[in-house]
């Protein structure tokens, strides 16, 4: 399954250092030299992993041209580099990935053209650079209990079936996972409404099962999608921690509207929650919309509906508004003010209880039809 290739010949190193020196010097020779990136021994991986396997640091594991199937336990040690081109990593029923890095030794999944890690693995002397969509995704397709800690997932999102994702929760049981202190960035954006960098799906509904904490999502299109009754931990951020101005194109939390008999807190303030359905909330269901939270509605048919006062609790400082409203939560539709919000952009907030149902009004409910 594995074929090793040594990437560090004396000729190659000489050429790399020469190119680096040329690039790093201006005509006035005032630029700092670019330090050479250490190269790693390459291990090409293909086909499937069907017995317990460990990937060790000091190597760069390359998946190119065909998908890799994980059908057993793959343990990835801290500091491991994985480079991918035109392929998907699929984790199936009997498989799981246990990728537990550290703050000092992160685990990297990135493009084969990304020379920042283990140097010029594709041997093209800097002729190519990493691009969004260089590889497909990490696809959780039946796996239970995969763990990603201190893991970076860069330059994924190549179109698959018309969608663009970096992490794809494909089956309901695969919502049993841990993502902690991960960075998901530089994912290809796609036109479909279900193209998100982290596609949690409707199955991502229980924060005790789907553990998603301390992660950073940035330089993606739509960063994340999950069930409307999933409470997202506020430790997650939607910008580059090292460069806070680097955010996502459609910066928001995108929700799937299956109503569950449980309580949820919409409490993230950094980005708006985005709704594209009409949520009818009843019985034991409760949505708590917290202080200074923004909720945006994408279409004229989207809105909120409660059968009792306790079904949706709206804090007076929270705002319900149009997806086109750039004054609240930024330019979420990423059109640079080409469109402006107008009355009727979304349906409204309906109170369907008492003798005469009514539409909720107030200064914090903007651009609704009712």
pLDDT in the model for residue 315: 98
User: 118 exposed, middle or buried (CB, 10 Å; 0-12, 13-18, 19+)?
Assistant: buried
Q: What number is the average pLDDT over the span 103-116?
A: 98
Name the nearest CA neighbour of 221 among 87, 333, 85, 341.
333
pLDDT in the model for residue 127: 82
C-alpha–C-alpha distance, residues 271 and 196, integer Å: 15
pLDDT in the model for residue 312: 98
Per-residue pLDDT tens digits for 242-254:
999 999 999 999 9
pLDDT in the model for residue 171: 87
Per-residue pLDDT tens digits for 282-327:
999 999 999 999 999 999 999 999 999 999 999 999 999 999 999 9
How do the domains of the chain map onto residue ranges? 2-258, 260-370
pLDDT in the model for residue 35: 61
Q: Say yes or no to pLDDT of 10 above 80.
A: no
3-state SS of the chain is CEEEECCCCHHHHHHHHHHHHHHHCCCCCCCCCCCCCCCCEEEEECEEECCCEEECCCEEEEEECCCEEECCEEEECCCCEEEEECCCEEECCCCEEEEECCCCCCEEEEECCCCCCCCCCCCCCCCCCCCCCCCCCEEECCCCCEEEECEEEECCCCCECCECCCEEECCHHHHCEEEECCEEECCCCCCCCCCCCEECCCCCCCCCCEEEECCEEECCCCCEEEECCCCCCCCCECCECCECCCCCCCCCEEEECCCCCCEEEECCCCCCEEECCEEEECCCCEEEECCCCEEEECCCCCEEEECCHHHEEECCCCEEEECCCCCCCCCCCCCCCCCCCCCCCECEEEECCCCCCEECCCCCECCECC
Q: Say yes or no to pLDDT of 13 above 80.
A: no
pLDDT in the model for residue 126: 79
Q: Say yes or no to pLDDT of 11 above 60.
A: no
Q: C-alpha 332: how far from its chain's center?
A: 16
pLDDT in the model for residue 355: 86
Q: What number is the average pLDDT over the span 106-117?
A: 98
Confidence of residue 80 (pLDDT cuts 50, 70, 90): very high
Per-residue pLDDT tens digits for 121-130:
999 987 889 9
pLDDT in the model for residue 22: 34
Q: Say yes or no to pLDDT of 32 above 50.
A: no
Per-residue pLDDT tens digits for 352-370:
998 899 999 999 999 999 9
Confidence of residue 5 (pLDDT cuts 50, 70, 90): very low
C-alpha–C-alpha distance, residues 313 and 303, integer Å: 14
pLDDT in the model for residue 296: 99
Q: Say yes or no to pLDDT of 62 above 80.
A: yes
**pLDDT mean across residues, the chain:** 91
Q: What percent of the chain has pLDDT over 90?
A: 84
Contacts with 216 (C-beta within 8 Å, 6 or more apart), sequence order: 182, 183, 184, 185, 236, 237, 238, 239, 240, 241
- pTM score, two decimals? 0.90
pLDDT in the model for residue 337: 82
Per-residue pLDDT tens digits for 129-157:
999 999 999 999 999 999 999 999 999 99
């Amino acid at each position: 399954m594995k074929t090793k290739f040594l990437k560090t010949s004396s000729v190659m190193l000489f050429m790399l250092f020469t190119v680096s020196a040329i690039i790093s010097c201006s005509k006035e020779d005032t630029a700092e030299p670019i330090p050479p990136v250490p190269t790693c021994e390459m291990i090409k991986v293909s086909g499937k992993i069907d017995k317990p396997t460990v990937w060790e640091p000091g190597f760069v594991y390359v998946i190119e041209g065909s998908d890799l199937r994980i059908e057993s336990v793959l343990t990835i040690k801290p500091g491991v580099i994985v480079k991918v081109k035109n392929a998907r990593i699929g984790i199936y029923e009997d498989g799981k990935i246990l990728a537990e890095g550290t703050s000092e030794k992160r685990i990297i999944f990135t493009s084969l053209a990304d020379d920042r890690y283990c140097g010029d693995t594709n041997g093209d002397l800097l002729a190519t650079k990493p691009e969004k969509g260089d590889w497909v995704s990490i696809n959780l397709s039946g796996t239970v209990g995969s763990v990603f800690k201190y893991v970076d997932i860069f330059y994924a999102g190549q179109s698959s079936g018309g969608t663009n994702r970096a992490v794809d929760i494909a089956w309901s049981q695969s919502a049993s996972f841990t993502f902690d202190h991960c960075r998901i960035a530089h994912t290809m954006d796609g036109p479909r409404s279900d193209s998100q960098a982290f596609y949690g799906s409707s199955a991502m509904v229980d924060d005790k099962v789907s553990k998603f904490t301390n992660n950073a999502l940035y330089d993606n299109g739509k960063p994340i999608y999950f069930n409307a009754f999933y409470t997202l931990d506020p430790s997650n951020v939607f910008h580059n921690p090292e460069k806070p101005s680097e955010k996502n194109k459609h910066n928001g939390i995108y929700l799937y509207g299956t109503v569950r008999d449980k309580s949820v807190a919409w409490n993230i303030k950094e980005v708006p929650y985005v709704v594209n359905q009409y949520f009818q909330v009843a019985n034991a269901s409760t949505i708590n919309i917290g202080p200074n939270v923004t909720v945006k509605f994408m279409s004229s048919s989207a809105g909120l509906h409660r059968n009792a006062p306790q079904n949706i609790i709206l804090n007076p400082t929270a705002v319900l508004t149009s997806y086109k409203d750039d004054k609240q939560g930024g330019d979420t539709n990423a059109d640079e003010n080409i469109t402006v919000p107008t009355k009727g952009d979304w349906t409204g907030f309906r109170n369907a209880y008492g003798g005469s149902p009514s539409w909720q009004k107030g200064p914090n409910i903007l651009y609704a039809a009712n």
